[in-house]
Amino acid sequence: MKKYQLMAPGPTPVPSQALLAMAQPMIHHRTPEYEALFTEVRRGLARIFQTQTDIVPLACSGTGAMEAAVVNTLSAGDSVAVVRAGKFGERWVEIGKAYGLNVIELAAPFGQTVPAERVREALGTTPSIKAVLTQHSESSTGVLHDVRGFAAVTRPTDAILIVDAVSSLAIANLEMDAWGVDVVVAGSQKGLMLPPGLGLCALSERAWARAKTSTLPKYYFNLTQERAFVVKSEAHFTPVVSIIVGLREVLRMLEAEGLPNVFKRHDRLARATRAGVEALGLELFAKATPSPALTSVHAPRGVDAERIVAAFSKTHNITIAGGQGEMKGRIFRLGHMGYAAEFDTISALAALEQVLAELGAPVDFGASVQAAQKVFAEKP
């Protein structure tokens, strides 16, 4: 028997508390029971987003939330600057072009980030830019972008800052109100430790003002209409009731752990994983600004990264991820977000040693585990 382990950068494991909650009998979404449920969820989400604004839930993926952010704050022909340094930065570009926006790409090689100064320069060169779109954690490469820096240079202008936090919410610190971020979108399947299916959108008052003048077509993703129901703890359309029930349990778990401790846990897991990988002589892909959500690693010379991913699954029943787009076959990615703890990292590193040996790469057995243990042994 081989116990299954999910170590991909999303979806992530779901804790038993949430699974049991979601297994309860279905409730109707137009009842006092749902209103009480959603009232608690609204308050909990505001704490996780670190905002005073209401968060709008949508029955969709994180990409749906990204699209909702665009169609509710912009109009055809608007100029937008997109931080493009990975597959999901490319997704912002694709969404923008699909809706007739003038997309100005602020590109960086995969594995790197875009300095805030480049965003400032773009806003100065093209003052007609209506929005800056970026990821916080670019999960295709393992890079963490400087959202705080982006906010600092965007806030004094007329442009709003729209942030994809799908792989950073409840993983890396993102202070929506304090930093001056205008739109934050997320999904249920990563730091929130739930099945996929729930998209989340939070808008600042500046972004809500933009929603009044946006002319892009929208029906299901009309956030202004959704907000009118959210403030009453009601649902406009049928919500993903069971996931919202599970979300209540997850929010209680995060509240009990404390948000600063959640961030510290992810940081420790990330540092231990990176230390373990480097102890095996492997090269990290995102070196300068790595995300605490995942670790991306160059495959050893002469080894296709997809073989590493396949061996993890076949030999050890562990799911990790390969590279996306131009990085396919060149890197593999280890997730350590959400419902993740120290021994998940230890077992994944031990499996990595065995996989590399199976594929003919030289391995110093125990080196990665020892390096990770040293990180975990540090005083918090």
Determine how many CB atoms are found less than 10 A away from the CB of residue 357. Answer: 12
Q: pTM of whole model > 0.75?
A: yes
Q: Cα–Cα–Cα angle for 159, 161, 166, nearest 5°?
A: 160
**Per-residue pLDDT tens over the stretch 283-330:** 999 999 999 999 999 999 999 999 999 999 999 999 999 999 889 999
* Span 3-26, average pLDDT: 97
Number of domains in the chain: 2
Do 159 and 272 lie in one domain? The reply is: no
Do 273 and 210 lie in one domain? The reply is: no
Average pLDDT, the chain: 98
Do 235 and 266 lie in one domain? The reply is: no
Distance CA 377, CA 195 (A): 32
Do 102 and 60 lie in one domain? The reply is: yes
Where does 23-115 have alpha helices with state H? 32-49, 62-73, 87-98
Do 23 and 134 lie in one domain? The reply is: yes
CATH code for position 43:
3.40.640.10
Distance CA 263, CA 8 (A): 19
Decide if pLDDT at 2 tops 90: no
Structure-block tokens of residue 66:
């990204």
- Which pLDDT value is given to residue 157? 98
* Span 264-279, average pLDDT: 99
Do 197 and 229 lie in one domain? The reply is: yes
Closest CA to 72 of 180, 216, 202, 186: 216
Distance CA 226, CA 222 (A): 6
Q: Cα–Cα–Cα angle for 76, 81, 83, nearest 5°?
A: 135
Decide if pLDDT at 380 tops 80: no
Q: Which of 200, 234, 256 is the last residue of a domain?
A: 256
- Which pLDDT value is given to residue 325? 87
Q: Which of 206, 231, 256 is the last residue of a domain?
A: 256
Do 200 and 294 lie in one domain? The reply is: no
Q: Which of 204, 229, 256 is the last residue of a domain?
A: 256
Do 293 and 329 lie in one domain? The reply is: yes
Closest CA to 157 of 125, 196, 183: 125
pLDDT band at 362, cuts 50/70/90?
very high
pLDDT band at 221, cuts 50/70/90?
very high
* Span 333-361, average pLDDT: 97
**Per-residue pLDDT tens over the stretch 208-217:** 999 999 999 9
Distance CA 175, CA 59 (A): 25
* Span 144-155, average pLDDT: 99
- Which pLDDT value is given to residue 379? 78
- Which pLDDT value is given to residue 211? 98
- Which pLDDT value is given to residue 135? 99
Distance CA 303, CA 265 (A): 32
* Span 259-280, average pLDDT: 99
* Span 82-94, average pLDDT: 98
Do 211 and 331 lie in one domain? The reply is: no
Distance CA 98, CA 221 (A): 15
* Span 93-112, average pLDDT: 98
Query: Pairing relation of β-strands 55-59 and 198-203?
Result: antiparallel
- Which pLDDT value is given to residue 297? 99
Distance CA 184, CA 50 (A): 11
Do 241 and 301 lie in one domain? The reply is: no
CATH code for position 308:
3.90.1150.10
Do 81 and 189 lie in one domain? The reply is: yes
**Domain extent for 273:** 5-10+258-377
Do 348 and 287 lie in one domain? The reply is: yes
HSE-up of 240 (CA within 13 Å, CB side)? 21
